[in-house]
Amino acid sequence: MSVKSLINQIQVYNPDSETELLERCYRFAQQAHKGQKRKSGEPYFSHCVKTAEILAELRLDTHTICAGLMHDVLEDTGITRQELQVRFGANIANLVEGVTKIGQYRPNVASATATAVITVEDRIHRKTQAETYRKLLLATAEDMRVILIKLADRLHNMETLNFLTSEKCQRIAKETLEIYAPIAHRLGIWRIMSRLEDLAFKHMHPGEYRKIAELLNQKLAEREAYCDKVVKQIRQVLEKRGIYADVHGRTKHIYSIHQKIQKGTPFNEIRDLIGLRILVKNEADCYIALGALHQRWNYHPDRLRDWIGNPKKNGYQSLHTTILDEGKTVEVQIRTYQMHKVAEDGIAAHWSYKEGVPTSAQGRSIFANYKQILEDIQETQDSPHQFVESMKLEFFQDEVYVFSPKGDLFTLPAGATVIDFAYKIHTDIGHTCVGAEVNGSIAPIRRVLENGDQVNIRTQPNAKPSRSWLSHVKTAAARNKIRHWYREKDRADALELGKKFIAAELRVSYLNARDCLNSPKLLDIAKQLNLKNLEELFIRIGNGYESATHVVNLLKPEVPEPETKTAADVETKRKSPGPAVQLENDIDLGMMRIMKCCNPIPGDQVVGYLTRGRGVSVHRSGCIRILDEPERLLAVKWTEKPPSVNGDQQPDVYPVKILVECSDRPGMLGEITTAIAQYKVNIRCGSFQPSTVHLDATASDNLTIDVTGAEQLDSVMQGILQLKGVQRVTRIS
């Protein structure tokens, strides 16, 4: 499409569009992608134009269409965001950058065929995938126009997917079905949602797709002839009531037929392969038309739906009924022209093509509901599979409408239970729910709710949620609230248990519990373990991640041994080689010992402590084991080791323990050990286990390495920290 054709398409609905800006963006993107080809062999820029064309079909604002033209320039060319902002303004630059960010979150969707054996790599992959989904969803909420551009981009990519490898087609199709089609559904953009579903289904299950398509074609002429006959009859019935309407047939898309077959409905029993749609001028005519149809034909009362009086969360409004004609069932939808536009284009139907924002209260409500769902899903701690299923349910499932005893209307996803409804009302009501009355009858809390149910929740003050509820609730909000309650309960239990463990250990050690628990040294110990406060320390002890005995031993002051050594023993130790430290005034007070409690190494700031009968103990400055006796503290310094005569003497090395917190991915441990080896440092021992310290790390490497001093240790730690996936490196001792 030429720039002139694109502008003409836009000016049909927006005569005041910024044509000069559109032309500049068109030429700029065309030049930026010059020479680039798609897998089909077409110029890459053709994809950008098609994306803009889809956005124009949705009647979006000029800036959104301009961003659609340039949506790939940051990712695929050397253009920078700053250059875009200088040329076209911050608004367009922000949109292009937003689409680029979404493109960075590319989930490696697992193949459709699940294997029986789940490896460690699979679990790591799935956890990463779930986190990617969360980030993608969060990015879509920043500016609604960003996801609209991405949907247009994805639609055209799906239309040209056959030029990619089979494996890549499968991955992109599954991602489309799990992520982008549900988002389009939640935003009410049916024309994009149905196309994305059919294209994804075609590539994921080509055999089933062809089978349904062939079944549809077998009696297509017969169905169309019957449809034309019923359309004429309906028009005659409506004209007698003074209603002039557009009546036409509509074909059910292939993926929705597949879903019905999957639920157990044979193809020949699907009643709405071809339905009818009636478009009228106003809402009153909708109900008049419904009455006229029911007067002329029998209908299924249980399949009557009033989405006008109770619109769906995505803004959808319509009357649905199923009439009986000559033994056949015909599904009919009745709506106004404006309702039809909303049904096809969703939130885009409420869009201001001048201001680039939702203009109506209904449009703002759709956006607010979308963001609320995102927030609920963001908080889930589900496994990747459960997370995707939760997202599909929240985004894609039909709704049920239930009432409180006062007549307040509540919307829940189909399949929601009494528990979901209780948490929908209030968190405390959910926590204390013990049962319900549904339509005046006693019902269990696991009861699945149906349209029109009136629900009265029964509570008890001392009741509490059950973990088993997690397998029955359908909404992310209810699941999150139940899990939060148990996290807080488990935390409180661990806190109390940790305090008991410490108190018991203090009694065994004959230490005053009150003094020790109020001692500043206890907080120093917590900080040394990378914990924020004493509460976190007690919780870790209560959960078994830290030893109460170890903590109490650190609290104990360094108690000097009795002077039982003979003069000969003292003289022998004085003559033996000592550590490379000495008093700053070079006075010899006897043996000097490097203490293991803080394990100082050359280069550390150190201090000496004069003991009774055991010489001077050397600690790192600030060590919590040093007694508060300033008169016993001595200034010490490291000494340089004299070089050997022949120059072949190896430098002294000192064992140091470090903690590496990192991602639990294949090859991570190998990369860490390789990084250490580059500094010619020996790894004395180590262990690898799940991280229990920080939430952003999934694994911990406890390593003991031999270094010549603090300078080499810093270099090694910085080298490890540069590795991808490493969150932090901490010296333990």
- Positions annotated as catalytic residues are 75-76
The dihedrals phi and psi of 4, each to the nearest 5 degrees, come to: -65, -45
Name the strand (E) or helix (H) holding 238: helix 220-240
DSSP β-bridge partners for residue 351: 358
Rg of the chain on CA atoms, in Å = 35
Distance of CA 327 to the CA centre of its chain: 49
Backbone angles phi, psi at 411, to 5 degrees: -110, 130
CB 341 within 8 A of CB 351: no
Start-to-end CA distance of the chain, whole Å, equals 68
Q: Cα(154)–Cα(152) distance, rounded to whole angstroms?
A: 5
* CA–CA dist 369, 210 (Å, integer): 37
Collect all residues with Cβ–Cβ distance below 8 Å to 340 and sequence separation of at least 6: 277, 279
Q: Is 688 in contact with 660 (CB distance < 8 Å)?
A: no
3-state DSSP assignment of residue 79? coil
Written as six digits, the tokens of 95 are 């949109």
CB atoms within 10 A of CB 126: 19
What residue type is 714 in one-letter code? D
d(CA 373, CA 336): 28
Asked if 152 and 54 count as a contact pair (C-beta separation under 8 A), the reply is yes
- How far is the C-alpha of 152 from the C-alpha of 660, rounded, in Å? 43
Q: Which residues pair with 581 in a beta bridge?
A: 638
β-strand partners of 30: none
